[in-house]
Each structure stands twice: as structure tokens, then as C-alpha cells.
Amino acid sequence: MQLPEKHSATGTTIFTVMSALANKHNAINLSQGFPDFHIDSRLSGALGAATENGFNQYAPMTGLPELRNAIGAGIKDRYDVDVNPDTEITVTPGATYAIYTAFTAILSPGDEAIVLEPAYDSYIPNIEMNGATAVRISLSAPSFSVDWQQVKDAITTRTKAIIVNTPHNPTGAIWTKDDWTQLAEIVRDTDIIILSDEVYEQLVFDGAQHHSVLQNEELRARSFVLFSFGKVYNNTGWKMGYCIAPPALTQAFRRIHQFLCFTVNTPAQYALAQHLGNKTEPLNDIMQGKRDYFLKLLAETPFTIHAPARGSYFQVASYERISDLPDKEFAEWLTIEHGVATIPVSAFYSSGKDDRLIRFCFAKKEETLAAAVERLKGIR
Ligand code: PMP
Ligand code: GLN
């Protein structure tokens, strides 16, 4: 049987591979990005109550009005911008789905979409699954900031979209307001659409602020903004998120969404709608505490940190003082021989570009981080 390839990525995603390897070798899993601590009991309680109270049938295609209203209120609160819950917000089964749906809504065969690498590994396959071409630009270590001239030079008459991500997975870099201004200047006289992946919006450290594309009026008018509840409420397995876009883009998004999954888990939507109104401890502070704790411990190991993560769940580290193995081999060796699983950063480059860096996820209990570092200290 001949089946079409659909995209150029080979094998299984690195997150699946490394988590499976961690399980097989009983390693501490600092690879795939997910918290290992409990979620807020008010949220789990609300989920149980929703299903107990009979909210078990299809929700509206666009998302429960209660949840979309709560999302709109949260955006107003965090970014001081007004978003219309009826015409601009769609609830989705996670951000990965929303990214695919947004690309599918706008890309046609022959189009180009610009991707800044290292990049979350679904972007390029999603572009290619729509018959379009991914145009790659490399961000440079250690700051991983954007060279705007390179972006400008990559634009052609076929450029349909640019996908961006701040706070950034895997590097923990964050964009300044000026980055958005530069992007706005570059796309001003074009029809280019922006996909802004802001799943780590509430994970920004050292008093810095997350700058959302929603705060740039000019760009907002041409942007899909993708969010994930998993990264805000520590429940990545719920696979819940949302897409914010101006009405015309939202309509295009929903045209696809209604025939892709139609609607999203109802009890989870009720639970989130209720929980969004609860007061919670700022996630930035909690996660910054974990980053600081991890970095302090890591200083006792032979790993080198070139730049502390400014946001996200992740810290990139160099193993230049330990080994000159390619990063995938090093990550396998570390898992099997030292019992700590990480992600090789080359997995975020479609070319496999290897800067000999690995990514640790520090969204873990302190005891998990301490146990992992205890193992890393034994490396010679
Ligand atoms: N974008 C980035 C940059 C991510 O790291 C993740 C992590 N999973 C996602 C999107 C997807 O989020 P979700 O789990 O809601 O699909
Ligand atoms: N975003 C998470 C990470 O980068 C995992 C997502 C996934 O497993 N696809 O680790």
C-alpha cells in the first residue's frame, strides 16, 4: 500500500521518545514539559462536580459562553485589551490543535510560512500537511533573539504566515515590545498573517512582563493568538486551550474547527469557566522559584548555563565540559547511564542542527529536581 508522507518529519516526536525512554530506564523525567505536582483542588473538584451535575453532552461549537466570557475577562485583566468572546474567542482541545487549525484555515498549496528555529516540533509538519513550504530562520545561541533583517529577507510574494513563540520553547527567551514593533514594520504592507504561540504567557521571570501580540493593535488585526490552559493550571493532560483572532480570522478558524473536532470536552469547560474566577497564586512566582532552585543545584554539576531562562518551563544547558557526543546520543546516555531524561535541542531544528545543548523541564516538585541533580552530580 502506498500512503502519502504528508510532512517531512521522520519518526515519533522527541517528547514521546524521551518520556518512553525515561519510563523504560526508571529515569527522572525532566524531558517532556509537564508538571509533576497536583493541580488546584478547586479545579479538580469543579471537574467532578460538572460531570456529576450532568454537564456531559456537547457544548456549543465555539465553546461554552461562560468560559469564553471568563477568558475575555482574563485577557482584559492581564493585557488591558478588549476581546469579543462571541466573535474572537474559540475554545480548543489544546494549543497544538489550535496551531494546526489556524494554519489549515489560511494555507494553500504553494504558500510559504516562516518559522524561527529552534521551534516547537509541530509547526513545520503542520505547514507541510497543508501543502505549504516552511521557510526556516535560525535564532542564535545564547540569546536566541530574532535577527529582524533575516526575517525581512525571507519574505517573498508567497509568504502567507509567520509563526512566533514567546516565552519561547525550548530556550526560555522572551520578546520585548520592540520585537513586536519590528515585526509590525516588516509585515505592514503585506497580507501576511501572524500565528502567535503564547502558551507560556504566565511564566515570565525576574519581574519581566509578557508582551502579547494582542497589545500591538496593528498586529492584532492580522493575528491568531494561541493559548493553553495546560500551562496555566498545571493540567497539560486535559488538553484544553483557546484561540483569539479578529472576527474574519475567527470565522475562517471555525470553518475548519467545526469539521475537525466540532466541540471540546464539556465538563472541562465548565470546570475551567468556574476556576478562572478563583484567586490563585501568581504562576510566575511559583515557577521562578523552581527555576532558581534548579539553577542553584545545577551549579554543583558539570553542566554550563549560558543564559538563565527568562520564561517558560525550560532551561537549556550545555554539556561541553562532559562530552562531545551529538545531543541526541548524549540525552540517551544521560537517561540510561545517569537516570535523568532531557530533550536534545536539535529536535527543535528540522535540519537537526546540533549546538550540543539539552533542555531540562524544571516544572517539577523540588524533591524531583533535587533527586535529579543528585544523579547529575555523579557525572564525570
Ligand atoms: N506551543 C508550545 C511552544 C508548547 O511548548 C506547547 C506544549 N505542549 C504547545 C504549544 C501545546 O500546548 P497544548 O498541550 O495545549 O497542545
Ligand atoms: N510542549 C511540551 C514540551 O515541549 C510537550 C508537548 C508534547 O509532548 N507534544 O515538552
Which residues contact residue 157 at a Cβ distance below 8 angstroms, ignoring those fewer than 6 apart?
A: none
Q: How far apart are CA 308 and CA 291, in angstroms?
A: 8
Phi, psi of 107, deg, nearest 5: -95, 145
High-pLDDT (> 90) share of the chain, % = 96
**Could you tell me if residue 140 is left (phi over 0), alpha (psi between -120 and 50 degrees) or otherwise beta?**
beta
Same domain, 234 and 112: yes
Structural domain span for residue 332:
14-39+281-376
223-228 and 241-244 strand pairing: antiparallel
**Ligand 1 geometric centre to CA of 165 (Å):** 10
Q: Domain total for the chain?
A: 2
Q: How far apart are CA 380 and CA 368, in angstroms?
A: 22
The last residue of one of the domains, among 223, 246, 275, is 275
pLDDT at 380: 77
The last residue of one of the domains, among 224, 253, 275, is 275
Q: 184-240, pLDDT tens digit by residue?
A: 999 999 999 999 999 999 999 999 999 999 999 999 999 999 999 999 999 999 999
Residue 354 near residue 346, CB atoms below 8 Å: yes
Find the helix packing angle between 327-338 and 14-24, rounded to 10°: 20
pLDDT band at residue 143 under the 50/70/90 scheme: confident
Nearest CA, atom 3, ligand 2? 33
**Ligand 1 geometric centre to CA of 87 (Å):** 24
Q: 77-104, pLDDT tens digit by residue?
A: 999 999 999 999 999 999 999 999 999 9
Question: Residue 228: nearest ligand to its CA?
Answer: 1
Residue 102 near residue 253, CB atoms below 8 Å: yes
pLDDT at 257: 98
Nearest CA, atom 1, ligand 2? 33
Same domain, 264 and 299: no
Q: Residue 378: pLDDT above 90?
A: no
Residue 251 near residue 223, CB atoms below 8 Å: no
**Ligand 2 geometric centre to CA of 327 (Å):** 18
